[in-house]
Structure 1
Amino acid sequence: MDAVTAMAENKIKEAIENGELDNIKGKGRPLHLEDLSRIPEELRAGYILLKNSGVLPKEINLKNEIKKLEDLLDYCYDDKEYRKIKFKLNEKILHYNILMDKKGKTAAHLEYENKILGKLQKG
């Protein structure tokens, strides 16, 4: 353990002993960990800071919503509910594509960019 980590651990232990962490929001409940696998490791801290500040670009919020809807579809077995989710997903994708088109990024450009990012993350 390096000196900085040891110092941080000591400060946390002190705070626990002094009761400074007793009233933390969410204490005793499991942490909700966000899937950050699609974000390059070196950008994750910045992403979390922006997200917690509520200043993520609209396209990132849309991409997150699209991913959640795609995940819901994977586990939806009710035809009526499936159609509702699929409709919402298509709306979000259309909105995202319009937004990106306004920024000068076509669907083909975005697909190519995603493939490159995927290869970078694997490598």
Structure 2
Amino acid sequence: MAILSWLAEQRIQEAMRSGEFANLPGHGKPLELEDLSGVPEDLRMSYKIMKNAGLLPEEVSLRSECVTLEELLAACHRSGNSDSGERKELESKLSLKRLRLQVLLQERGLDGSAAYMDYGDRIRHRLAGMDE
């Protein structure tokens, strides 16, 4: 194994000498490291892979949809919108999304996980624009 490390290091040094790393994107800028401390340790790798693939876990999508529906409902109440049919439809959609989220969390065994609940609170705050 040591020979492979040595060979890799030699190739890297050779590439550096020939200038192959000179104009890479982000050259001279600090690395942007992600803070995954809020994600439960056993979920970090899978979430990272999904994020890099442009996918979101269903529970995150559901939470986002719930926040959007809650904002629409709040806007209806603030504006004094008299269309109770629209409000009832939004409330029904919100109720179904919350129920699906609850079932999903129970199926995955995450409904009682303190780490996951803390992570969920952080996601909720971020989605609602209340970053700490």
Normalised by the length of structure 2, the TM-score is 0.46
Which structure: larger Rg? 2
Larger RCO (CA within 8 A; separation ≥ 6): 2
